[in-house]
Amino acid sequence: MISNDGWFAEAQRCPSPNFNDRPATDVDLLVLHNISLPPGQFGKGYVQAFFQNQLDPAVHPYFATIHSLQVSAHLLIDRHGGLIQFVSLDKRAWHAGASSWLGRPNCNDYSIGIELEGTDDQAFSEAQYHTLNAVVLQLYDRFPALNRQRVVGHSDVAPGRKTDPGPFFDWARVPTGAPG
């Protein structure tokens, strides 16, 4: 269930400072990503620290290259299917960067960003697909302009710059429409 202020009741709240108000526009795009910190490692809490501007650059050499970035997503689905929310669905998370969809720039303005804990070279877990599908169906209900044709990868809105969610993401498993 999604609250009136845009938070999933079942999600762990991990508020990020990296968001702002959306322009007056409807949410009509869902952008799927993958992330792991350090690259290829899961379940260490570094993604949460990164989205909260608390990533310690001394912990891993890769962190020194990204710790000053200010980014976020609305949601993260961990390898066990856990749902973590960083930004209200009613606000603009900073997930897509320089992006466009069907000629329309600045995808952050009109999209929801979901990170799946993973990499371009590994399959996602059954638990992640289970949670993703439950979330997507709730998003279809909350945002009537969303449908399966408007669920895309980061690679689709930032081609040549991004490759996620990667070739191991099973697009056939994304729900096509609202339940019942």
Per residue in 62-104, pLDDT (tens digit) is 999 999 999 999 999 999 999 999 999 999 999 999 999 999 9
58, burial (CB in 10 Å: exposed 0-12, middle 13-18, buried 19+):
exposed
What is the spatial distance between Cα 180 and Cα 66, in angstroms, rounded to a whole number? 43
Choose, from 10, 115, 117, 126, the residue flagged as catalytic: 115
Query: What pLDDT does 180 receive?
Result: 47
Per-residue confidence (pLDDT) for residue 178, from 0 to 100: 56
Instruction: Give the domains, in start order, of the chain with CATH numbers.
Output: 14-169 (3.40.80.10)
* pLDDT (tens digit per residue) in 48-59: 999 999 999 999
- Respond yes or no: is residue 115 known to be catalytic: yes
The answer on pLDDT for 18 being more than 80 is: yes
d(Cα 21, Cα 121) in Å, to the nearest integer?
34
Closest listed residue to residue 62, CA positions, set 95, 40, 87, 89: 40
Q: How far is residue 158 from each of residues 52, 63, 112, 161, measured CA to CA in Å?
A: 23, 23, 15, 6
Average of per-residue pLDDT across 3-21: 98
Give residue 177's pLDDT: 74
User: 138-172, pLDDT tens digit by residue?
Assistant: 999 999 999 999 999 999 999 999 999 999 999 99
